[in-house]
A = this chain, B = another copy of it.
């Protein structure tokens, strides 16, 4: 990482700050927007906001760790000796990646038993996937990195199969007006997640030095914003549409004796 230029250092620094602002704003959006959906969808939106809140916290830590790891002296970057703590990302994913899948299951409003079964299976697979990625991330040899990459891909593929095969019947039962969006939400999940194993192998395919560090840090940051915020907005819109379909607004001509808002 010592080959970082000042421009690369600052680009990563600004990307982290951008993520803090985005995750924080998204959290407020989801928590305020909770009241706009009917009760059956509020837990889905709560979880959506928790994901961005957890990421907001971790990006604050990542930002501070990055700031502490380097100093700019007379236009050059010097490592201060304090190591940049990459583990924050894995701690974040260990919490947020299972929650992201649970968001999707909750907004589908399956039966209680199905919600528990599918939420648990997907959540556990996601946690195993993240846990298997970490030993490779901190491994000093490229061989170990490859081994854990392959191991983490097994639960990842199991998640993809569960989303596209296991959930097919449930998606067909979604209301007409949101079926396409729920299906698209799976695609956002899978496509945005594909980014992580790709970024992970950058150092393994000869991509090293400051450019690799920049690609990895900015790549993970962009992937996090897509997977958590863009995906979350999608979940929110699905919840708003389903709420509206289930409970049409009372026409103004009808006397409103009871106002439960």
Q: Which residues of A contact B (CB under 8 A)?
A: 10, 13-14, 17-18, 20-22, 24-25, 28-29, 31-36, 39, 42-43, 46-47, 49-50, 53-54, 57-58, 61, 72-74, 81-83, 85, 87-88, 91-92, 94-95, 246-247, 250, 252, 256-261
Determine the chain B residues whose CB is within 8 A of the CB of A36 once the complex forms. 39, 42-43
Determine the chain B residues whose CB is within 8 A of the CB of A58 once the complex forms. 21
Given A21-B95, A54-B21; A257-B259 close (CB under 8 Å) = no
Question: How far, in Å, is A255 (CB) from chain B's closest CB?
Answer: 9
CB-CB nearest 4 A-B residue pairs: A14-B87, A18-B91, A25-B50, A258-B258
| Chain A interface, DSSP helix/strand/loop, else mixed | helix
Question: Does B72 contact A50, Cβ atoms closer than 8 Å?
Answer: no
Per assembly, the copies of the chain total: 2
Per a CB cutoff under 8 Å, which of B18, B74, B91, B260 touches A258?
B260
Can you list 9 residue pairs at the A/B interface with Cβ under 8 Å? A18-B94, A21-B54, A21-B58, A21-B91, A24-B53, A24-B57, A32-B34, A32-B49, A259-B259
Question: Does A57 contact B20, Cβ atoms closer than 8 Å?
Answer: yes
Question: Does A247 contact B257, Cβ atoms closer than 8 Å?
Answer: no
Determine the chain B residues whose CB is within 8 A of the CB of A260 once the complex forms. 258-260
Question: Does A252 contact B247, Cβ atoms closer than 8 Å?
Answer: yes
Given A53-B25, A74-B81; A61-B17 close (CB under 8 Å) = yes
Question: How far, in Å, is A153 (CB) from chain B's closest CB?
Answer: 24
Question: How far, in Å, is A18 (CB) from chain B's closest CB?
Answer: 5
Given A50-B28, A94-B18; A261-B259 close (CB under 8 Å) = yes
A17, A35, A39, A258 interface centre (most CB from chain B within 10 Å): A17
Determine the chain B residues whose CB is within 8 A of the CB of A46 once the complex forms. 28-29, 32-33
